[in-house]
Amino acid sequence: MTATTTHHRICPLCEACCGLEIKVQAGKVISIRGHDADVFSAGYICPKGVALKDLHEDPDRLRTPLIKRNGVFEEASWDEAYAEIAHRLPPLMAQHGRNATAVVVGNPSAHKIGLLTYFGKLARALGTKNVFSASTLDQMPKQLASGLMFGHWLSVALPDITRTDYLLVLGANPLVSNGSMWTVPDFKGKAKALQARGGKLVVIDPRRTETAAVADAHHFIRPNADVFLLAAMVNTLFAEGLVTLGTVADWVNGDAEVQLAVTPFTPEAVASRCGISADTIRALTRDLAGAPRAAVYARIGTCTQEYGTLASWLVDVLNTLTGNLDREGGVLFAKSAAFASNTAGKPGVGKGVTTGRHQARVSGAPEVYGELPITCIAEEIETPGEGQIRALFTVATNPVLSSPNGPRLAEALDTLDFMVSMDIYLNETTRHADVILPGVSPLEDFHYDVAFPQLSWRNHARYSPPVLPAAPGQPEEWQTLLTLAAIVQGKGAHIDANTLDDAQFAEDAQRLFGAHADAVMRATQGLRGPQRSLEVALRTGPYGDGFGTQPDGLTLAKVMASNATGGIDLGELQPRIPEMLRTPSGKVELAPPSLLQDLQRAAHDLRGLAPDLVIIGRRDVRTNNSWMHNLPVLAKGPFRCTALVHPVDATRLQLQDGALAEICNGPRSVQAQVHISDEMMPGVVSLPHGWGHNLPGAKLHLAAERPGTNLNALLDDQLRDPLSGNAVLGGVAITMRAATAPAPAQTDS
């Protein structure tokens, strides 16, 4: 009998970063379960972790590059694929300039160190203003608010869930999503422990979600009204003399300005807009202020709306004004072992953040952290003139399904002169490419999380080696990115990525370590690519060995050696203010001027009427955005792409349970299967995103059997939060009526 080997691997699929135990026999995965000894996730796993086996084995997953010739994709060697790009791209750039190129990077890149740390090299080589990412479909408002308040976009205040007494959650469903901008595997277990010690979990959501179902209290809120609720809670804190800054009192600027700015937002003024009574708003505020230790957490429901940045900001204003910022049991900042800007440079002060250094050509939308809003891509391709996008790189993203007005984007992509996709599937977006370059399966890749330890409920360092070997000749994704960068710079298709990487590392070492550069080069000999960057980041990080100056400190070898025992635990989060601040003032900026100004937009809107029927999104445990519907273990079971409608609305609109309805937003419309449910707030419909796998030319056989509806075909690509450029994905006014066409076979399988 063939021996079974056991491997420990961090799951790369969502932000929870669970440690998995994977058993392999004769080169095949035979089981995947949670790794009980994992210091961070302690054996927790969800069905998507198990699906890594299906992903690895999926016959539709691309294993070789594809080149489109005469409209048909043909398998090609890596040399042929690179040669095609080297042949077509540089002349185009020579003729039309750098801003005729664009690059868009998507969600999986946040989970892959190779993509995350080398993507910038391609973007810099292109030298274009047209850099886009899924961040503007997601968390850009939170990044911007955190950057303005604390000086860096990855300095995010995280609920100290294991020690708090009161957790208020808005617009997030961590029981299903497993947390976002907050790495917290087994949220449910931690929430139960909070309740067992007498604490409370309160949820604000237009749907009675899975998280709301286990909470002590749940309040419906009208979508897009969080800014009003939160501002009224801040108003109440001041009105009732409940403000306390606690331990950070010496480090906060702007509380008086905030008090003035929220004056219009009394509980009475916002109650009808929120669908929450003034008494409830006051009670919520008193409970939050009265809890010994409390934390407010909000996520995508509060980000992907017209006031995303304001809502994200007010969450931390509440945390600060209740004395819960930077204290145990309140909200704290992680201290990551590697790659964190808030552990680098001079402690306690920094450059802060600036936005609007350039603008999108067509809409004028401001740059934020080097990016333009992803919803600008279609118009930037369509609109003639200097800087019109003619060549596009997509890296691990599927914006035809994930971004509002996907059908418009799909049409625009067809007019490009050239498109290259780095992706593991031929899907709704990559079908438009001229060349597709596949990455390795996650099981063939080593893993270290760059971003999520900065967002983790507990400090830790964990590394996973590849579980299975990659196919011969298959480059790692960082090598592909470096090769593309070289091609873009006109260096041809035959450069050696490793040689290039060595040369760039030598340059970086000189710049960063000066006289010590040679010693660093020697100490990292034998490593390359992201592994070498990781070694440097760990050793120079806050727990590092300082290349020998702190002999007990961390090195890559030590972190690697801890793999079998579940990684290295670096303890509970600790107070870090003022040391972690990177604002120019060295203070927490509670009242950034751009936010106070935008609050006037909300004050003005307070007088307007909320629409009577709006749509929002939803996630399911067995889905992951737009790309895992092709995996048997996740695709089975009840059909999940249904429109949830409250019984009162169903009656009013004459909609039948299980029947198709037509949902319209201006000129756009889609059809979806109705599911009548009192989980919904009346006047609110919920439809998940990431579906619509019925577009011609994609190769996703299983997903195409039950394609579902593309919510983003309904949404408007012109609606954004003006400060962050984030797309508005929820609270959008719709009309709905029974569809005349018969329902397709979308019943349970």
Ligand X SMILES: Nc1nc2c(c(=O)[nH]1)N[C@H]1C(S)=C(S)[C@@H](COP(=O)(O)OP(=O)(O)OC[C@H]3O[C@@H](n4cnc5c(=O)[nH]c(N)nc54)[C@H](O)[C@@H]3O)O[C@H]1N2
Helix axes of 593-605 and 226-239: crossing angle, nearest 10 degrees: 110
Helix axes of 308-321 and 593-605: crossing angle, nearest 10 degrees: 110
Asked if 504 contacts 491 with a C-beta cutoff of 8 angstroms, the reply is no
The amino acid sitting at 369 is Y
Q: Which does 302 bind (CB under 5 to 8 A by kind): ligand X, Mo ion, ligand SF4, none?
A: ligand X
Q: Which does 17 bind (CB under 5 to 8 A by kind): ligand X, Mo ion, ligand SF4, none?
A: ligand SF4
Q: Which does 170 bind (CB under 5 to 8 A by kind): ligand SF4, ligand X, Mo ion, none?
A: ligand X
Q: What's the rounded Cα separation, in Å, for the pair 425 and 251?
A: 49
Q: What's the rounded Cα separation, in Å, for the pair 298 and 307?
A: 13
Binding mask 166-205 for ligand SF4 (x = CB under 6 A): ------------x------x--------------------
Find the binder of ligand SF4 among 48, 163, 299, 582 (CB under 6 A).
Answer: 48
Binding span for ligand X by CB under 6 A among 283-291, 497-505, 665-673, 707-715: 707-715
CB of 105 to ligand SF4, least distance (A): 20
- For ligand X, the closer CB: 400 or 560: 400
Burial of 623 (0-12, 13-18, 19+ CB in 10 A): buried
Contacting ligand X within 676-695 (CB under 6 A): 686, 689-690
Q: What is the DSSP letter of 678?
A: T
Q: Which does 329 bind (CB under 5 to 8 A by kind): ligand X, ligand SF4, Mo ion, none?
A: none
E strands, 166-320, where? 166-170, 200-204, 217-219, 252-253, 294-298
Q: Which does 106 bind (CB under 5 to 8 A by kind): ligand X, Mo ion, ligand SF4, none?
A: ligand X
CB of 686 to ligand X, least distance (A): 6
Binding span for ligand SF4 by CB under 6 A among 22-30, 41-49, 312-320, 697-705: 41-49
The contacts of residue 593 (CB under 8 Å, 6+ apart) are none
Q: Hey, CA dihedral for 695, 696, 697, 699, is it positive or negative? A: positive
CB of 102 to ligand X, least distance (A): 15
Contacting ligand X within 537-556 (CB under 6 A): none
Q: Any idea which residue has 């930077």 for tokens?
A: 326
479 touching ligand X, by CB under 6 A = no
CB of 299 to ligand SF4, least distance (A): 15
Q: Residue 333: name the closest of 581, 138, 589 by CA.
A: 581
Find the binder of ligand SF4 among 22, 39, 46, 288 (CB under 6 A).
Answer: 46
End-to-end CA distance of the chain: 37
Residue 744: other Cβ atoms inside 10 A = 12
Phi, psi of 560 (to 5 degrees): -60, -45
626 touching ligand X, by CB under 6 A = yes
Contacting Mo ion within 123-152 (CB under 5 A): 138
- For ligand X, the closer CB: 178 or 459: 178
Binding span for ligand X by CB under 6 A among 147-155, 333-341, 392-400, 502-510: 392-400
Binding mask 581-600 for ligand X (x = CB under 6 A): --------------------
Q: Residue 2: name the closest of 30, 21, 22 by CA.
A: 30
# of chain residues touching ligand X (CB under 6 A): 63
- For ligand X, the closer CB: 422 or 568: 422
Find the binder of ligand SF4 among 8, 14, 82, 539 (CB under 6 A).
Answer: 14
Q: Residue 314: name the closest of 247, 249, 239, 225 by CA.
A: 225
615 touching ligand SF4, by CB under 6 A = no
Find the binder of ligand X among 171, 199, 350, 406 (CB under 6 A).
Answer: 171
CB of 466 to ligand SF4, least distance (A): 17
Asked if 318 contacts 355 with a C-beta cutoff of 8 angstroms, the reply is no
Asked if 168 contacts 233 with a C-beta cutoff of 8 angstroms, the reply is no
703 touching ligand X, by CB under 6 A = no
301 touching ligand X, by CB under 6 A = yes
- For Mo ion, the closer CB: 38 or 138: 138
Find the binder of ligand X among 627, 644, 649, 716 (CB under 6 A).
Answer: 627
CB of 301 to Mo ion, least distance (A): 12
- For Mo ion, the closer CB: 587 or 720: 720
- For ligand X, the closer CB: 465 or 490: 465
- CA angle at 454 for the pair 449 and 458, rounded to the nearest 5°: 95
Find the binder of ligand SF4 among 18, 66, 125, 321 (CB under 6 A).
Answer: 18
The amino acid sitting at 110 is A
Between the alpha carbon of residue 125 and those of residues 82, 93, 595, the distances in Å are 16, 12, 34
305 touching ligand X, by CB under 6 A = yes
And the tokens for 253? 């600027």
Q: Residue 312: name the closest of 456, 184, 157, 178 by CA.
A: 157
Q: Which does 226 bind (CB under 5 to 8 A by kind): Mo ion, ligand X, ligand SF4, none?
A: ligand X
The amino acid sitting at 337 is A
17 touching ligand SF4, by CB under 6 A = yes
# of chain residues touching ligand SF4 (CB under 6 A): 12
CB of 523 to ligand X, least distance (A): 30
Coil, strand, or helix at residue 671? strand
589 touching Mo ion, by CB under 5 A = no
Q: Residue 592: name the closest of 726, 721, 722, 723 by CA.
A: 723
Q: Hey, CA dihedral for 453, 454, 456, 459, is it positive or negative? A: positive
Q: What's the rounded Cα separation, in Å, for the pair 681 and 225?
A: 13
Q: Residue 318: name the closest of 400, 204, 417, 420 by CA.
A: 204
714 touching ligand X, by CB under 6 A = no
Q: What's the rounded Cα separation, in Å, for the pair 61 and 700?
A: 9
The contacts of residue 16 (CB under 8 Å, 6+ apart) are 41, 44, 46, 178, 179, 183, 184, 185, 186
The contacts of residue 170 (CB under 8 Å, 6+ apart) are 203, 204, 205, 221, 226, 229, 230, 296, 297, 298, 299, 301, 302, 311, 315
- For Mo ion, the closer CB: 21 or 138: 138
Contacting ligand X within 108-127 (CB under 6 A): 108, 112
CB of 525 to ligand X, least distance (A): 29
CB of 246 to Mo ion, least distance (A): 32
Q: What's the rounded Cα separation, in Å, for the pair 430 and 451?
A: 26
The contacts of residue 525 (CB under 8 Å, 6+ apart) are none
Residues in contact with ligand X by CB under 6 A are 14, 106-108, 112, 134, 137-138, 170-174, 176-178, 180, 204-207, 209, 221, 223-224, 226, 299-302, 304-305, 396-399, 402, 422-425, 427, 439, 616-621, 623-627, 686, 689-690, 711-712, 715, 729-731
Residues in contact with Mo ion by CB under 5 A are 138
Residues in contact with ligand SF4 by CB under 6 A are 11, 13-14, 16-18, 45-46, 48-49, 178, 185
